[in-house]
Amino acid sequence: MMKLSEYNKKRDFKKTAEPKGKVKKSGEVLHFVVQKHEASHLHFDWRLEIDGVLVSWAVPKGPSADPSVKRLAMQVEDHPMDYIDFEGTIPKGQYGGGTVMVWDTGNYMAEGADTVSQSKKLIQKMHDEGNIKIIMQGKKLKGSYHLVRMSGKKEEWLLMKGKDDFANKKNFDQHSVLTGRTLKEIEEDKSSDTWESNKKGAKANSGDKSHILTENNEAELSFTAEDLADAKRRKTFPKEWKPQLATLTDEAFDDSDWIFENKYDGYRALIQINGGKVNLVSRNGLSFNKKYKSLVDSFLVIKDDIMLDGEIVVEDSKGKSHFQWLQDYEESPGRGKLKYYVFDILYFNGYDLTALSLLQRKHILKAILPESTTILYSDHIIGKGRQALNKIAKRGGEGIIAKKLDSSYHVNKRSKDWLKIKVTKEQEMVIGGYTEPKGTRNRFGSLLIGYYDNGKLIYSGKVGTGFNEASLEKLHSSLMNIETTTCHFAEKPKIPNVHWVKPELVAQVKFTEWTAGGSMRHPVFVALRTDKKAKEVLREKPLKNTKNTEQHNDVSKKDFKSDKVDITNPDKIFWPKEGYTKGDVIAYYDVMADYVLKYIKDRPQSLRRNPDGIKNQGFFQKDMSGKTPKWVKTRKLTSSSDGESVAYLICNDKETLLYMANLGCIEINPWSSRIGSINNPDYIIFDLDPNKASLQDLITTAKKVKEILDKLNIKGYLKTSGGKGLHIFIPVKPNYTYRLTREFSRLISETVYKALPDITSLERMPKKRIGKVYLDFLQNGKGKTMACAYSLRPREGATCSAPLQWSELDHDFDIKNYNIKTMPQRIREKGDLWNDFFNDAIDLKAVLDKLKK
């Protein structure tokens, strides 16, 4: 590899905004960037993070997804890591002068490597040998790519796509993955990283304007004749056209080939402006001109012949739309602001634009729209569908529309190039009856559902989707067992041929919103809840910014906010004796998140949910497939017992931690291995269960474990279990199997037992080891979980699994002293006692070899 000194030598950093060349230590992942570069000639710069720098190649024709295509790649000087998000203009006269776009970026791994550390070593070896094979995880570049040095050449390489599921012959999108801009837009933007159209107050385009289209040869437009090169000429105005419709889908996704827009809660309408006359037309061809006359008048400022596609809405002062206000606008025009959001243009001054790509059409649209508080351009983001849906959900919106960015406009057709994705909510519901099946449906048609309010069962609608044959059969059998002739709803629904049932079964239902009449909109059956009593099912009313009113401790006095989680029932009592609430649990994890997350990041979670607090055992939930908001990360893993695929929740940020707490997860139970090295745990667990043994015997046993570990020069990390026992954790390098970690734990446990046979036991049956400390080495197994450091426990006193200093195991030691009330103050005084945990990882095989000698 070349040195950064060559990079620095070629640049005058007083004149160019490029970052100075400094080597940086590699992080937890390996990055790459591909930049499109308009310099003396157009080319692509392919850059891979190797040993703290971006090793770089110039690829004249750019990457291809076709395995049969080989591209020349010329190795150039290494670039600094800070270059990875450089996008802008390098001044003329400077080295590489021209425009730079971040065409794609992401992470990569060396082929054959299971871990990042292995990948770092392997990629250096591959580079030295001139044969680089990597797996790309970018927005555009995905799967296998190869770089091979040409025989006898030093700087000349060949770049090619490997044969895999991502191989195809499609052309890549040519917009920036950071800002969505073209090279030209980046070049013309002299002020910021975000391009703005040539509206009032925006900069006019510079350079040669001879090809700019004009409006009656007077007002300049900020798009050129080239933008209309693929548009068709049309002699007549297309009054007969109707809007393109979207296809419903049930899940948001991230894809750089798609854009994502707000799904407006209003009336879809086309604006037809022809010969100075404006016509506002519904999706079914009906005129809205009379009903929304003020909106029609707003479009008179446009003098071109155009056809626009958009949505009519009425918004309140906070920008939230209200469909009911829109319907009643003629009678009550003062209730909100009437607006038209424009998201497409179909026709412009004799040109049929429907064959142009979506981004071309939106570029033209943005350029011609007037400055207005009534006529608004519908903005979008590229690639980040989950983020878009989350933003809409936070604002209380209906959903998003996903559109393929290179798609044409399909007049009067429903297309899969446009997808509608709705925001959904979930709620427990009591089943009060069911209807007869219709058509091809077996067993039953719909469930009649409701919730309790002041002891009365309130009907909230029917749910008839979300079932498969197995769930239909099982649920129907349960329903027949509780059939009755009595309707238990407070007001009997006026539905014929209903089979009434006793209100005993509780269903989990997802839906989009509550209607004004108290019914669920678009309900979908998820599952039966066996842990919930029907009488406890109330209508949940989310609170976004929860402030605990009961001040039991320092935590509950804190006002906490969550941008993504709708906190529900924060005042629900979880510990009846102490009076601690669900809100106290959420506030605790809000305060302690930075400490908890270190020990659960990238680890599958087995959710132990206690939605009713500690009064019952709650239930464990592993498979979260289709049950989480789209922003919550999950990972499918195959169960070793039955071979079924389970979507485990992965908690890598505070919002997800608060989401878990809001589900009633008092306790946090991660695996002892991480995604990326899932078969290789990175700590060993010693679970010391007293089983009615004395506290002194428990302390004696823990100190004996420490004594043995000290002789092996191994640091054991101590914590309370949060119950009655103690945990000792040993960090290990994630290079070995669960079998080996269990073998090590067994050997140490057997040594402890031989030293303390009167107070310890290896017997698995509890009744055979009463009064002795159980040395449970079997906790070291794939998929087995243990409460993490700083996790609360659903036990009396709201105790916590608290990291300890060994010196704290003295005559004053009391596990109950470490709880929801004391831990935040303790962490402020002592800091994280496990802060160096992963830095002390041992080489397990070397230790085992030493033990067996």
**Positions marked catalytic:** 263
Q: What's the CA gap between 773 and 726, in Å, rounded?
A: 10
**694, 811 in Cβ contact below 8 A?**
no
Q: In degrees, to the nearest 5, what angle opens at C-alpha 387 toward C-alphas 383 and 392?
A: 120
What contacts 344, CB < 8 A, 6 or more positions away? 308, 309, 310, 358, 361, 362, 365, 409
Q: What's the CA gap between 320 and 309, in Å, rounded?
A: 21
**235, 254 in Cβ contact below 8 A?**
no
Q: What's the CA gap between 283 and 309, in Å, rounded?
A: 10
Q: Which spans in 226-356 are helix H?
A: 293-298, 323-327
Give 687-725 as a DSSP string.
EEE-TT--HHHHHHHHHHHHHHHHHTT-PPEEEE-SSSS
Question: 189: part of which helix (H) or strand (E)?
Answer: none
What contacts 829, CB < 8 A, 6 or more positions away? none
Q: What's the CA gap between 534 and 168, in Å, rounded?
A: 53
Cα 70 to its chain centre, rounded Å, is 36
Q: What's the CA gap between 230 and 238, in Å, rounded?
A: 18
Residues in a beta bridge with 513: 521
10 Å CB burial of residue 568 (0-12, 13-18, 19+) is: middle
Residue whose token pair is 């950071």? 178
Phi and psi at residue 278, to the nearest 5°: -110, 135
Selection from 374, 372, 373, 354 nearest residue 364 by Cα: 354
Kindly report the number of other CB atoms within 10 A of residue 350's CB atom: 15
Beta-carbon-side half-sphere exposure of residue 735 (alpha carbons within 13 Å): 10
Q: What's the CA gap between 199 and 193, in Å, rounded?
A: 17
Q: What's the CA gap between 530 and 510, in Å, rounded?
A: 17
Q: Which two tokens stand for residue 562?
A: 């969550």
**279, 286 in Cβ contact below 8 A?**
no
For 774-789, letters b (16+ CB in 10 Å) and e give bbbbebbbbbbbbbbb
Q: What's the CA gap between 827 and 138, in Å, rounded?
A: 39
SS3 294: helix
Query: Is the dihedral angle over the CA atoms 704, 705, 707, 711 positive or is it negative?
Result: positive
Question: 149: part of which helix (H) or strand (E)?
Answer: strand 142-149
User: Hey, which bits of 445-569 come out as E strands?
Assistant: 447-453, 456-463, 483-484, 498-501, 506-511, 513-514, 520-521, 524-528
Question: 594: part of which helix (H) or strand (E)?
Answer: helix 582-597
Q: What's the CA gap between 149 and 43, in Å, rounded?
A: 19
**605, 660 in Cβ contact below 8 A?**
yes
**647, 636 in Cβ contact below 8 A?**
yes
SS3 645: strand
User: Hey, which bits of 275-354 come out as E strands?
Assistant: 277-282, 306-315, 337-348, 351-352
Q: Which two tokens stand for residue 537?
A: 């099912």
**740, 754 in Cβ contact below 8 A?**
no
Q: What's the CA gap between 93 and 693, in Å, rounded?
A: 81
